[in-house]
């Protein structure tokens, strides 16, 4: 199986050509995980694989169908943990978490990294960065304030220094 990952944009899966149902911010956060994340829909088709999982999947032998019956045993051999995805009593699919590369940062740290990365890509254009992240400009501004981030005079990101 061969996948191509495009961080902060839709991930095309072969051979079905499905695109990820997750928002850009959700994908950015999942891509920042130190562990691989593979999501299967309720029909057993792979609908998302983050950057780390894509690298692991590309090392596996398979027919490239993205079918859970084929991939689950291979992912289990890599140490993957399977967790059901539910909304109330409705089962939406399954997620497989592949082992951590290193100590996993908090969700806030992951979100902060995703925001800073996107802002660097857009040359600190808040409206464009917010659109790519799938959040409003006001929400982005609040996150910047919460994390104490600002753009310094050289155009680099820095944290506020307490006096």
Residue 103 pLDDT > 70, yes or no? no
132/1: higher pLDDT: 132
Residue 84 pLDDT > 70, yes or no? yes
Q: How many residues does the chain have?
A: 163
pLDDT mean over 66-91 = 83
Contacts of 147 (CB under 8 A, 6+ apart): 108, 112, 115, 159
Give me 126's structure tokens.
Answer: 């808040």
- Give, for 70, the enclosing helix (H) or strand (E): helix 68-77
Query: Comparing 70-74, 95-99, 103-107, 143-147, which segment has the lowest mean pLDDT?
Result: 103-107
- Round to whole Å and give the CA distance between 18 and 36: 19
Instruction: Give residue 138's pLDDT.
Output: 95
pLDDT mean over 44-65 = 77
Query: Comparing 50-54, 116-120, 153-157, which segment has the lowest mean pLDDT?
Result: 153-157
Residue 110 pLDDT > 70, yes or no? yes
User: What residue spans of the chain are helical by DSSP H?
Assistant: 24-31, 51-57, 68-77, 107-121, 126-133, 137-146
pLDDT mean over 112-138 = 90
> Per 3-state DSSP, what percentage of the chain is helix, strand, and coil (rounded to 5)?
35, 20, 45
Tell which phi-psi region holds residue 8, choosing left (phi > 0), alpha (psi between -120 and 50) or beta: left
Contact between 9 and 33 (Cβ < 8 Å): no
- Round to whole Å and give the CA distance between 61 and 2: 9
Residue 6 pLDDT > 60, yes or no? no
pLDDT mean over 104-130 = 86
Contact between 95 and 83 (Cβ < 8 Å): yes
Residue 140 pLDDT > 90, yes or no? yes
pTM for this one? 0.52
Instruction: Give residue 72's pLDDT.
Output: 83
């Amino acid at each position: 199986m061969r996948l191509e990952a495009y961080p902060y944009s839709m991930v095309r899966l072969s051979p079905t050509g499905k695109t990820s149902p997750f928002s850009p911010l959700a994908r950015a956060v999942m891509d920042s995980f130190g562990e691989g994340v593979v999501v299967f829909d309720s029909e057993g088709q792979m609908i998302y694989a983050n950057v780390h999982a894509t690298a692991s999947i590309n090392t596996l032998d398979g027919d490239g169908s993205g079918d859970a019956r084929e991939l689950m045993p291979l992912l289990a051999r890599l140490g993957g943990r399977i967790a059901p995805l539910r909304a109330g009593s409705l089962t939406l699919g399954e997620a497989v978490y592949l082992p951590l590369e290193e100590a996993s940062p908090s969700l806030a740290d992951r979100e902060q990294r995703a925001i800073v990365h996107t802002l660097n890509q857009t040359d600190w254009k808040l409206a464009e960065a917010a659109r790519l992240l799938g959040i409003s400009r006001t929400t982005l501004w609040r996150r910047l304030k919460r994390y104490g981030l600002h753009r310094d005079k050289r155009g680099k990101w820095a944290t506020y220094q307490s006096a």
